[in-house]
Chains A and B, each alone.
Chain A
């Protein structure tokens, strides 16, 4: 059995990873911690910051910094989760891709390799609302999806 845990860096996706581990522990399954990084997110951050500062001169530099931070942040979280899994004797690996989150998730989840997909109900914006990505992908993912809150 193979479980795909979708990690966007949010608390909810980390909780999702814990549920993926609970399935893996009971079934001796393999867990893949998957993260899709979309450069457009860094662009949005850079644009908003530039607008607040009233200058667009440093926008590209902000974007580059934000992009590096996004990559570093998600790697730190994935590595911490990977270490936790290995300490628990769970067969776990990491996969990070760059591109549109929805497309990347659907490609991976529907690759035919997974029996279960686990994801958080909320995104990085916290509990303001059920994640829009979740609403977009849930009906399009072929394996069962465990939504964690």
Chain B
């Protein structure tokens, strides 16, 4: 019955257009109309939370929102920029690069432990991944495999008052078709 609300609204606007023509127009302008198939309250089964050295820890509002999807499986992905490790290796040597790698692994695992523990307290099923890769590209590998992304405004780089959202976050928002919570 609810579905009819929007059909009625559209029909009123197109009342003088015959059926075939109506369908043609609605198809052509579909990015402007919410179709009946799309008029469904969505369900979330899989959540992807991105973390890195610059990310703020998820705040209480993020956890409160997640509680709306108690049966969702949450995947935590911590990404370290591989090119940074390569840069250190080529300038300061392999030993320094290895030290950096170890420090990053410890730092990242501490954050993952903290977030995982909070989610488990909330009875979420949690999976965690730690990768050395390209921060802007790693999340895109999972874009078809989840229903909701969660990302800090600071993911990928330092931010400032003038630029409060990291450019990498904008890039990810542009490339992922799924809803994204930015905190």
Name A's B-contacting residues (CB within 8 A).
1, 10-11, 14-15, 18-19, 21-27, 29, 76-77, 80, 83-84, 87-88, 115-116, 121-122, 124, 126-127, 130, 135, 138-140, 143-149
Q: Mark B162-177, 1 if CB is under 8 A from A, else 0.
A: 0111000010011011
Q: Does the CB pair A115–B65 fall under 8 Å?
A: yes
Chain A nearest CB: distance from B168 CB in Å? 13
Q: Does the CB pair B41–A25 fall under 8 Å?
A: yes
Q: Does the CB pair A15–B38 fall under 8 Å?
A: yes
User: A139 and B179 in contact (CB under 8 A), knowing A25-B68, A130-B174?
Assistant: no
Q: Mark B62-88, 1 if CB is under 8 A from A, else 0.
A: 101101111000000000000000000
18 more contacts with CB within 8 A, not counting A138-B153, A145-B181, are A11-B31, A15-B38, A18-B41, A21-B41, A26-B70, A27-B68, A80-B9, A83-B2, A116-B64, A130-B173, A139-B164, A143-B61, A144-B62, A144-B182, A145-B183, A146-B181, A146-B182, A147-B179
Q: Does the CB pair B177–A149 fall under 8 Å?
A: yes
Q: Does the CB pair B41–A88 fall under 8 Å?
A: yes
Q: Does the CB pair B179–A144 fall under 8 Å?
A: no
A125 CA to B41 CA, complexed, in Å: 24
Contact of A115 among B1, B32, B64 (CB under 8 A): B64
A83 CA to B39 CA, complexed, in Å: 13
A-B contact pairs, 23 of them (CB 8 A): A10-B32, A15-B34, A15-B38, A19-B42, A19-B179, A22-B68, A25-B41, A26-B69, A77-B9, A87-B1, A115-B61, A115-B65, A116-B61, A116-B65, A126-B32, A130-B170, A138-B182, A139-B163, A139-B164, A140-B164, A144-B65, A146-B181, A149-B179
A84 CA to B176 CA, complexed, in Å: 28
Write out the residue numbers on chain B whose beta carbons fall within 8 Å of the beta carbon of A25: 41, 68
Q: Does the CB pair B6–A144 fall under 8 Å?
A: no
Closest to B6 in A: A80
Chain B nearest CB: distance from A142 CB in Å? 9
B14 interface residue (CB < 8 Å to A): no
